[in-house]
Amino acid sequence: MNTSTANISVTKVTNSRLAEVDFDNLTFGSTFTDHMFVCDFKDGAWHNPAIVPYGPLTISPAAKVFHYGQAVFEGMKAYKDDNGEVFLFRPEQNFERINKSSKRMAIPEFPRDIFFEALHKLLDLDKGWVQSGVGNSLYIRPFAMATQVGVSASPSDEYKFIILLSPVKAYYTGDVRVTIAQKYSRSADGGVGAAKAAGNYGAQFYPTNLAREKGFQQVVWTDSNEHKYLEEAGTMNVFFRINDTLITAPTSDRILDGITRKSVISLAERAGIDVDVRRLAVSELVDAANNGSLKEIFGSGTAAVISPVSAFGYNDKVYDLQKQDDSYATKFKQQLMDIQYNRSEDPFGWRYPIAND
């Protein structure tokens, strides 16, 4: 267990909104719990960590986050098992990654002790919002943003770090259809593609809208230089099963070091499945689809866990994928969720218990 001496003040809500929530009809990321965590960076240090009632912020329209995009975030989940115990999944990885993202965006790194103390106290206060049952979870959104007032093009001297909690159900229901990018790019060499910077996601919305107009839900991004190699799928890492080998792109300064991605690789290797971490050319994928050796494509990420792909489009042609009786996507999703919901052994030590105070 992680402990902390961080002095986090707590202001509780007078009346909880929990009884008003219809947990059977949630829109992902639109409902928030009673409390949130806030902490401010000023004069070279983080100050006044506090848990307060969830609510609006007062912020200047001249805050630098609005003008220069200094903002990073993470995505995590809390799960409740059948005995009412609450668990996180590999939270150390999220903590390390948000600080890596912050460093790339010239945002001060956040202290580990305050981060974990905030998670513990928030989840203890709002544990009633974590619903048991597979498919239910509490999405956790830590983020940092520049708050210094001024429109000069320079890094901010002031920041706000916040953690929000949102009860959710499945992000995607069913398989998705994807199209392979041939014009637009998610990231470029030397850029911020490996950081969870807010602007990375805003830049995806327009080409994704174009894809949806053609009947696809997501875009499989390719390299920005030649659009020759497959990199990510929407906001997820992506895996390709050719024959019985699982292929995924190596991480780089263009590709996010996904926590679910790393977990899938570990599960596959433990099962004796060949994992090939290498660049996969679009031409190789099309050839595999044509000769029948392409068995599966699936995305991996915190929100969706694993999202199977039913078809991909390229050069105005759609390639349908047949469902596999021994689907890797189905197997790994089940194994991951069994660990997350404390329904199986955890040979990797990924499950992180939140003690009930």
> Tens digit of pLDDT for each residue in 4-53?
345 899 999 999 999 999 999 999 999 999 999 999 999 999 999 999 99
Per-residue confidence (pLDDT) for residue 263, from 0 to 100: 98
Q: What percent of the chain has pLDDT over 90?
A: 93
Per-residue confidence (pLDDT) for residue 173, from 0 to 100: 67
Provide mean pLDDT across the span 86-102. 98
List CB contacts of 201: < 8 A, sequence separation 6 or more.
235
- In this predicted structure, the answer to whether residue 236 has a pLDDT above a threshold of 90 is yes
Q: Which residue has the higher pLDDT, 2 or 275?
A: 275
Provide mean pLDDT across the span 262-288. 98
Per-residue confidence (pLDDT) for residue 172, from 0 to 100: 67
Sign for the CA dihedral angle at 196, 199, 224, 237 comes to positive
Check if CATH label 3.10.20.600 holds for domain 9-168. no
Provide mean pLDDT across the span 143-152. 98
pTM for this model (two decimals): 0.95
Check if CATH label 3.20.10.10 holds for domain 176-340. yes
Q: Are 139 and 30 in contact (CB under 8 A)?
A: no
Per-residue confidence (pLDDT) for residue 303, from 0 to 100: 86
- In this predicted structure, the answer to whether residue 328 has a pLDDT above a threshold of 80 is yes
Q: Which residue has the higher pLDDT, 128 or 3?
A: 128
Provide mean pLDDT across the span 229-236. 94
- For the chain, the average pLDDT equals 95
| Domain boundaries of the chain, sorted by first residue | 9-168, 176-340
Q: Residue 265 — pLDDT band, cuts 50, 70, 90?
A: very high
Provide mean pLDDT across the span 242-263. 95
Q: Residue 2 — pLDDT band, cuts 50, 70, 90?
A: very low
Per-residue confidence (pLDDT) for residue 5, from 0 to 100: 41
Per-residue confidence (pLDDT) for residue 3, from 0 to 100: 35
CA–chain centroid gap for 117, Å, is 21
Provide mean pLDDT across the span 308-326. 96
Per-residue confidence (pLDDT) for residue 291, from 0 to 100: 98
For 57-75, how does the pLDDT look when each residue is reduced to its tens digit (9 = 90+)?
Answer: 999 999 999 999 999 999 9
For 156-182, how does the pLDDT look when each residue is reduced to its tens digit (9 = 90+)?
Answer: 999 999 999 999 987 766 789 999 999
Q: Residue 335 — pLDDT band, cuts 50, 70, 90?
A: very high
Distance, in Å, from the CA atom of 227 to the CA atom of 220, rounded to the nearest integer, reads 11
